[in-house]
Structure 1
Amino acid sequence: MKKCAWFVFLLMAVSYAQNKQILYGFTEIPQSLLQNPGGKTHNDWYFGIPLLSHIHANGGSSGVTVYDLFAVDGKDFNTKLEEVVYRLRPTDFFTFNQQLEILSGGFAFGPSYDKNEYISFGLYQEVDAILYFPKDYAKLVYEGNQNNINRPFRLDHLNGTSELISVLHIGYNKVVNDKFTYGIRGKVYSSITNVNSVSNTGTFITVNGDNNAYDHIFDLDLSLKTSGLVNLTMDSDFEMKDITKQLLFGSNLGLGIDLGFSYNIDKHWYLDGSLLDFGFIRHRKHVENYELKGNYVFEGINPIFPEVGSGQTADEYWTAIEEEFSNLFTLDTTRTKYTTWRPIKLNSSLNYAFGKKVSKECDCTFDDSGYLNRVGIQLYAINRPKLPQVALTTYYYRRLLNGLSVKAAYTLDSYSFTNIGLGMSAQLGGVNFYIMADNFLNFKNIYNAQSLSLQLGINYIFTNDED
């Protein structure tokens, strides 16, 4: 019974948002190459300040906010909880993504008059998690089964995954000509922990019984796969240094690739795109998997509740039920190796640049200074366990001063239709600082926001762009 309880706890404990629409195409920031390895670059070399070059956190819910449940509005909490349970769908989800860049750098090379090739590299840590709303589970808990006789509850509504990984990467960027640039990035994934339960099927149904009031029929095919978790929770000799050892070339490794390009249609219009994290991780060590399969019928314990003077106490009654469940269900524990695929991400944008810098001395433009403004539309998609998630962004970019640029974006996504984000990149000497955030309309009441995102970082850049 303890193993069954542990299995259910792990299933419910796993609780994926990665769209970086403001960073994408923000070419003054070196980390934009992580969003498109074929993007444009504007520096001879750079290095990121260790642990400070890129800090990112993003969390969201597609169908409910904290405010929906805990707002001080005079409405009873149970009423609000009931509304949430019946409003959410099995495809609604809760996500969390966090990235911390440990080190990074890059440099241009090629002929001294035309450095048209660029190498970038780095190591970052990432947490990524998604949990879909288990609607039938929630309804069963909320309503009970007495009022749902002959109604099957679907067990495939339980679906979620979470992981903690490190990523070592190196990328190559090549300017082929004035129109076309391409890039490729190779990645080595090192999984620290992984928990996933994405292939559940089955039903639970209560029917009128013959030997008791009700029969409870279980058709189960539930599974939970874990790696790197058993040593965290079961190993008494485990220390924090054991995690740091797995940050680089740990026991559960994988490979991946990013591809990207930029194409100048004419002097104003350009198109770009990228395909990220086409790869896998093979989980070999510290693996512990749980499976609960089969058809079971539970008839209950007679009497349904002990009669007065029957000699059976309430504690003995519930103990009997516990023992019956323990004997009924067989939880298989295995250490079978398994493979997980990374969530593939797609970015693509169409952009229009305009507005040359004008010299006050001659009332003419600087032909080599580039455009001050850009507008565009960007499509983002990520593969998820149930359905792909898609976002559409329009943006406006403005270079205010040498070394100071801003970008505003409006995004339609799975969370809301009112996501307005702002980003800024500032460079003083060789030091570059950037910060960007989403959902500014909800900053007055962040508890009512369905998603929040923050990115910031500091780099040292030696730029070849002196305008």
Structure 2
Amino acid sequence: MKKHRAYLLFFLCVYSVAQNKQILYGFNEIPQSLLLNPGAEVSNMGYIGVPLLSHVHINGGTSGPTVYDLFSANGVNFNEKFRSVVYNSDSRDFLSANEQLEVFSGGFAIGNTFEKTEYLSFGVYQELDVISYIPTDYIELALEGNQNNINRVFNAGDLSARAEVVSVFHLGYNKKVNSRFNYGIRGKLYSSVVDIDATKNKGSFTTRRGTNNIYEHIFNLDMQVRTSGIASLTSDDNSGFNEDLKEISKRAFFGGNLGLGFDVGFTYNITDQWRLDGSVLDVGFISHSKDVENYVVNGNYVFEGINPLFPDVANGQSAQDYWDALKEDFEDLFDVDTTGTKYTTWRPIKFNGSLNYTFGKKKKKDCDCTTEDSGYLNAVGAQLYAISRPKQPQMALTVYYYRKLFEGLSLKGTYTLDSYSFYNLGLGVAAQLSGFGFYVMADNFLQYENIYNAEGLSLQLGFNYIFNKK
């Protein structure tokens, strides 16, 4: 039963379908922008997020094949399309999905009576993060077999994936030092609900001409899947769905495997119109010691195939003895060792940085002149984003245009180059009426015409009550 669970976890890791929030970053009218830069300039005296609706984020994509590549009705045989997808993919191509749901959040300014230059923010959010690389060597071996790949070294490390569900409790501090400089820091406590990690796989498989048989097959394997929070939910002693929900709820609120982390960020106004800002997020770890179950395959083996002549028949070996010995050899090689060894995972560190230019002050109707304290209505800029991933960092470059249409309504349009697409257009809208704020954001609009051929899609929305500065 343990072996079957291990194979199931491998399958789920590989075939589960980035977290860049380029539209929200720097959109300072929205309180949740502090989650992306704890040192952003704060434009309110306080806010309260609508529980479960203050920030909803869904993002998914692929750097390789899309659903349309496999299932389009273009008259091409599915087998041919599948082969084309495989041979045009790279082992660094991936599928990823990210979801965030803010349970509750809030913030308020502190300081002296006349000038409140400090700001505290807090909240809890739940996050799902999945990434799976395409195991091209595995798929090509399954398609072609090994007879046509003599002496080719197939990389066992192509199997690389991880998935996690975690709750994050956070408290942030923002300080306005002067008119030019802001900084901030946010502490985080992570409570892991479920974790699956298959990113430490190494090894190879090679077929070559044999000496005692036609071929010999060489296995050099160092494979493992580490899990926490899975074993109790899939065990034979599981009490049922209701008990699972209670257990998951407990883990989400300090009952899971715990970890610590922090975010830091700053904003520096170079001039009245030029601004530089940046942040580093999720510098932290989670220690997994509860409900841990790991699956390990480790060993070196040379298998010379099935010999039609039993080599020890002269010594009394029967056919049954030969097959029993062969079976034991395979079981020794591929036996999955189950352990409860605790482990530590590092959070995917994220980096944001942008350079911005503001222009265009509002003019008074009666004198055709600008108001000095109204701020600028327009902004343009460029933002760089990066996130650490198991095989290599993912990066994105965004240019944007921001426009404050009138008091209470702002727009931001973006164009992004990333791992998914070179033509990602996005749009965000933030509106506020009598203190009640709403925002909605989406990107990859050019791919909505054929959503099955989209490399990536993202949606964000939220509701807050905001206490504005007078």
Q: TM-score, normalised by structure 1?
A: 0.93
1:190-269, aligned counterparts within 5 Å?
A: 190-234=191-235, 235-237=237-239, 238-269=243-274
User: Does the C-alpha gap of structure 1 residues 318 and 433 become closer, same or farther in structure 2, counting only changes over 3 Å?
Assistant: farther
Q: Which residue is equivalent to 1:311?
A: none
Q: Which residue is equivalent to 2:342?
A: 337
Shift, 1:322, TM fit: 6.8
User: Does the C-alpha gap of structure 1 residues 267 and 16 become closer, same or farther in structure 2, counting only changes over 3 Å?
Assistant: farther
Kindly indicate whether the alpha-carbon contact (under 8 Å) linking 1:149 and 1:206 is maintained by their aligned counterparts in 2: yes
User: Does the C-alpha gap of structure 1 residues 157 and 110 become closer, same or farther in structure 2, counting only changes over 3 Å?
Assistant: same
Which letter maps to 1:290? Y
Kindly indicate whether the alpha-carbon contact (under 8 Å) linking 2:380 and 2:402 is maintained by their aligned counterparts in 1: yes
Q: Which residue is equivalent to 1:26?
A: 27
Question: 2: distance between equivalents of 1:412 and 1:281?
Answer: 31
Which letter maps to 1:404? L
Shift, 1:111, TM fit: 1.7
227-236 or 291-300, which deviates more: 291-300
Shift, 1:412, TM fit: 0.5
Q: SS at 1:56's partner residue? A: strand
In the alignment, structure 2 segments of 5+ residues that lack a partner are 310-321
Instruction: Note the alpha carbon deviations across 1:255-287, whole angstroms, 9 max, x for none.
Output: 000000000111100100000000000001000
Question: 2: distance between equivalents of 1:262 and 1:16?
Answer: 36
Instruction: Note the alpha carbon deviations across 1:429-462, whole angstroms, 9 max, x for none.
Output: 1111100001000111111110000000111111
Question: 2: distance between equivalents of 1:412 and 1:196?
Answer: 28
Q: SS at 1:247's partner residue? A: helix
1:55-66, aligned counterparts within 5 Å?
A: 55-66=56-67
Question: 2: distance between equivalents of 1:358 and 1:341?
Answer: 51
Q: SS at 1:141's partner residue? A: helix
Question: 2: distance between equivalents of 1:187 and 1:40?
Answer: 21
1:76-95, aligned counterparts within 5 Å?
A: 76-95=77-96
Q: Does 1:11 align with 2:10?
A: yes
Question: 1: distance between equivalents of 2:374 and 2:113?
Answer: 20
Q: How many residues align?
A: 452
Which letter maps to 1:190? S
Question: 2: distance between equivalents of 1:281 and 1:327?
Answer: 33
Q: Which residue is equivalent to 1:435?
A: 440
97-106 or 146-155, which deviates more: 146-155
Question: 1: distance between equivalents of 2:334 and 2:185?
Answer: 50
1:266-277, aligned counterparts within 5 Å?
A: 266-277=271-282
Question: 1: distance between equivalents of 2:289 and 2:377?
Answer: 51
User: Does the C-alpha gap of structure 1 residues 349 and 223 become closer, same or farther in structure 2, counting only changes over 3 Å?
Assistant: same
Q: SS at 1:142's partner residue? A: helix
Kindly indicate whether the alpha-carbon contact (under 8 Å) linking 2:299 and 2:333 is maintained by their aligned counterparts in 1: no
Shift, 1:42, TM fit: 1.1
Question: 2: distance between equivalents of 1:383 and 1:42?
Answer: 31
Kindly indicate whether the alpha-carbon contact (under 8 Å) linking 2:56 and 2:101 is maintained by their aligned counterparts in 1: yes
Question: 1: distance between equivalents of 2:426 and 2:368?
Answer: 35
Q: SS at 1:12's partner residue? A: helix
Which letter maps to 2:51? P
Shift, 1:83, TM fit: 0.8
Q: SS at 1:79's partner residue? A: helix
Q: SS at 2:91's partner residue? A: coil
Q: Does 1:374 align with 2:379?
A: yes
Question: 2: distance between equivalents of 1:96 and 1:239?
Answer: 23
Q: TM-score, normalised by structure 2?
A: 0.93
Shift, 1:9, TM fit: 2.8
In the alignment, structure 1 segments of 5+ residues that lack a partner are 305-316
Shift, 1:303, TM fit: 4.9
Q: Does 1:390 align with 2:395?
A: yes
**Alignment match of 2:466 (pick from 434, 442, 461):** 461
Question: 1: distance between equivalents of 2:113 and 2:368?
Answer: 33
Q: SS at 2:254's partner residue? A: coil
Shift, 1:319, TM fit: 11
Shift, 1:133, TM fit: 1.1
Instruction: Note the alpha carbon deviations across 1:35-65, whole angstroms, 9 max, x for none.
Output: 0000011111111100000000100100211
Identity %, equivalent residues: 60
Instruction: Note the alpha carbon deviations across 1:67-114, whole angstroms, 9 max, x for none.
Output: 111111111111111111011111111100000000000001112221
Which letter maps to 1:8? Y
Shift, 1:332, TM fit: 1.3
Question: 2: distance between equivalents of 1:318 and 1:439?
Answer: 57
Question: 2: distance between equivalents of 1:328 and 1:230?
Answer: 24
Q: Does 1:417 align with 2:422?
A: yes
The two structures, once aligned, show a CA RMSD in angstroms of 1.9
